Structure 1
Amino acid sequence: MEKQLIISVGREFGSGGHAIAELLAKRFDLPLYDSNLLEEIAERKSLNVKHLEKYDEIPKNRLFSRNVMGYSNSPEEAIANLQFDYLRQKADSGASFIIVGRCAEEVLKGNPALTTIFVLGDMEAKVARIMELYQVSEQKAENIVVSTNKKRKNYHNYYCTKQWGDSRNYELSINSSRLGLIATADIIEDYIRRKMNLNK
C-alpha cells in the first residue's frame, strides 16, 4: 500500500467487531493489532507479557493507586500509556495498520491517515453470538455482554474526553446485526476506499 492507512475499530462485545476488523485486515493487507499489541511491547521492553495482560483495557483502580509529582503507581494506567505511546510512534513512523479498541480514535486523532469505525449490535444478536462462541446459556451470555461492555466503557471514558460508542466520535458507526458481518465489512471497506480515492 503506497499511502498510509490506519483503521481504528471500536466495538461492542458480541457485535463481531473483531471479526470484521480481521476481514478488513485481509482485504487491505494490513497488520491487525489488538491484545497482540502487548506482545510487541513486551518483547521490545523485555517485559513479561502475562503480567501486562492482567491490566489490559482496565481503568485505573482509584482505591489502590495515587499520583506523586505527576507520576502514577497504577499498573493499569502504565499499561494503557505504553499502548498509547506505541500506537502514536507506529502512526508517526508512517506504518499502516488496523487497531481494535485501545482508545485509538482519540489517541491518534488528527492523523490524516486515520479512519475511525464503531461496530455495535442488537442485544439479541450479541447474546446469540456469545452463546455460540463460548457455548454458554442465554443468561450467562447476556451477563458477559453487559459486564464486558461496561468494562470497555469505563476504560475508554477514563482515558478519553469523548464517550465510548458516541457516534459523534467516529466517522462511521454501524450495526452489524442488520446485514451480518461480511456485508458490514463490505460497507466499511467501500467507505474507506471511497475516502482514499477522494484523498488521492
Structure 2
Amino acid sequence: MNNKKIVITIGREYGSGGHAIAELIAKQLDIPLYDRNILALASSETGIEENELLDGDERVINPFFEPYFANRYDFNTVSDKLYLTQAKIIREKASEGSCIFVGRCSDYVLADTEDCYHFFIWAPKAARIARIMKEEDIKSEAAAEKILKMIDRQRKSYYQLYTDRKWGSYIGKDMVINSSTLGIAGTAQLIIDFVNKVIN
C-alpha cells in the first residue's frame, strides 16, 4: 500500500469474525484499530465510567434504567450520549490518518468521508455458532445460538436507531463478505487487495 490515507469500517454479525479480520488488516497495514477501545476514549470525553458506558455500547439501553441515567448525566440515555461521543471520536480519528473502525455505526458516521471504504462481514449461522462455541468456550449449540441472536438483535436495534439504514444491508457498503468462504485470513486479504486496487 502507498502512503495515501485510507479509512476502513467493518460492520459484522456476531460470530462472523469481524474483529479478528479487522485485527489482521490493521496489523498488515500498520494502522490503528478502533473497536471497544473507543469506550476508553469516550469515558475520558464524558467523565462517565467505562463500565457504565459498556451498557450502551452498540445496544439500546434498557428503558427501565433510562430515568436513572438521564437524571444523573443530564441527557436522554447512555446510548444517546455514547453514540454522539463515539461519532465525534470516529470523525476525529478518521481525519488524523489511516485507521480501521469496527461497528459503532462507523460506516454511517463516515459516509461522506473521502478515501473511506465500508465492509460488512457475515457468515452462515452454523459457522458463527461453531466460532462462538470455540472462542467463548460454550459447550451447547443452543446456548451459543441464544447469545448470537441476542447480540445481533442489540446491534441491529442500535444501528437502526441512529441511522436511516437497515443493519446488514449492502446500502453504503463497498463489499458485503461471507467470511466462511475464504476464512478469516482470506477475508482480511480480500479487503486489503480491494483497497489497494482502488487507491493504486
Q: What TM-score comes out, normalization by structure 2 length? A: 0.89
Amino acid of the structure 2 residue aligned with 1:139 = A
Corresponding residue number in structure 1 for 2:12: 11
Distance in 1 between residues matched to 2:91 and 2:85, nearest whole Å: 10
Give the Å deviation of 1:60.
5.3
Find the residue that maps to 1:119 and give its secondary structure.
Answer: strand
Question: Is 1:95 the counterpart of 2:97 in the alignment?
Answer: yes
Q: TM-score w.r.t. structure 1 length?
A: 0.89
Match among 138, 155, 158 for residue 158 of structure 2? 155
C-alpha separation in 2, matches of 1:155 and 1:104: 12
Question: C-alpha offsets along residues 89-137 of structure 1, whole Å, 9 cap, x if unaligned?
Answer: 2223x32211000101110111112110100000010000001111211
Name stretches of at least 5 consecutive residues in structure 1 with no aligned partner. none
Contact map agreement 1:8 1:114 (CA 8 A) in 2: yes
Structure 2 equivalent of residue 114 of structure 1: 116
- 1:7 corresponds to which letter in structure 2? I
Question: CA offsets per residue over residues 50-92 of structure 1, 9 Å max, x none?
Answer: 222222111255566589xxx8421211111110111112223
How far apart are residue 17 of structure 1 and its match?
Answer: 0.6
- SS, match of residue 167 in structure 2: coil
Contact 2:66 2:77 in 1 (8 A): yes
Contact 2:55 2:61 in 1 (8 A): no
**Amino acid paired to 1:171:** D
- Separation of aligned partners in 2, 1:149 and 1:155: 10
**1:25, CA displacement in angstroms?**
0.3
Q: What percentage of residue pairs aligned between the two structures are identical? A: 36
After the TM superposition, which residues 1-200 of structure 1 pair with which residues of structure 2 at under 5 Å, given as runs? 2-59=3-60, 61=62, 65=66, 72-92=75-95, 94-136=96-138, 137-197=140-200
CA RMSD, aligned part only? 1.9
Figure out how many residues of one structure are paired with residues of the other and give that number: 193
Unaligned runs of 5+ in 2: none
